[in-house]
């Protein structure tokens, strides 16, 4: 119960700051990560520390791949690293996958609402084309027009972390 309360405080703070400023503060992620390490080590000793480390590596490692492609920001990597330390490796990996799926659905709704759905799909097509031809999708993702069409990833990440934690996907 304490674990869920502390994780919830972190996730709500991340959601608030990402929606407000489109940034996830380093200090917030570092504090959550350290709190997870202390909590896991206190409650489960060395096994808890191992699970926290594995979760941080799973969550952060998978997000680094998306970050390297230019699909997410650095704050999203830090978010999943800290959350992974709280929820463990299996749940962190599930959360990343669920967040990617949710973000796709949110993007369609968001850009449809803004009237930019056609340009969003053109950018996806351009991204895939450049990925195949140039093998460097980050060229497209650094495009200023595409940068304007981004939305806060925490909108997808926070529900994904809860879903991965509470629903047994097998």
pTM equals 0.81
CA 42/CA 29 separation, integer angstroms: 20
HEC-encoded secondary structure of 100-125: HHHHHHHHHHHHHHHCCHHHHHHHHH
Q: Are 24 and 79 in contact (CB under 8 A)?
A: yes
The residue-averaged pLDDT of 81-86 equals 97
The model's pLDDT over 44-74, given as tens digits with 9 standing for 90+, comes to 989 999 999 999 999 999 999 988 877 888 9
What's the structural domain count of the chain?
Answer: 1
- The DSSP letter of residue 149 is T
**Domain housing 86:** 2-166
The model's pLDDT over 119-165, given as tens digits with 9 standing for 90+, comes to 767 766 666 666 666 555 555 555 544 555 567 889 999 999 999 98
Q: Which two tokens stand for residue 21?
A: 């400023």
Concatenating the DSSP letter of every residue in 35-66 gives: HHHHHHHHHHHHHHHHHHHHHHHHHHHHHHHH
In whole numbers, what is the pLDDT of the chain averaged over residues?
85
């Amino acid at each position: 119960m304490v674990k869920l309360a502390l994780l919830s405080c972190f996730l709500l703070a991340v959601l608030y700051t990402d929606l407000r400023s489109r940034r996830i503060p380093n200090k917030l992620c570092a504090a959550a990560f350290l709190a997870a390490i202390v909590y896991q080590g206190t409650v489960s000793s060395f096994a808890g520390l191992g699970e926290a480390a594995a979760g941080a590596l799973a969550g952060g490692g998978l997000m680094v791949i998306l970050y390297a492609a230019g699909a997410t920001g650095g704050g999203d990597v830090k978010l999943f690293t800290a959350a992974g330390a709280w929820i463990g490796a299996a749940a962190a990996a599930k959360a990343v996958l669920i967040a990617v799926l949710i973000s796709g659905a949110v993007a369609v709704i968001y850009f449809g609402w803004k009237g930019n759905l056609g340009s969003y799909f053109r950018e996806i097509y351009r991204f895939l084309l450049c990925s195949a031809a140039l093998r460097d999708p980050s060229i497209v993702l650094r495009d200023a027009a595409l940068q304007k069409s981004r939305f806060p990833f925490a909108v997808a990440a926070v529900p994904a972390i809860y879903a991965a934690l509470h629903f047994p996907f097998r």
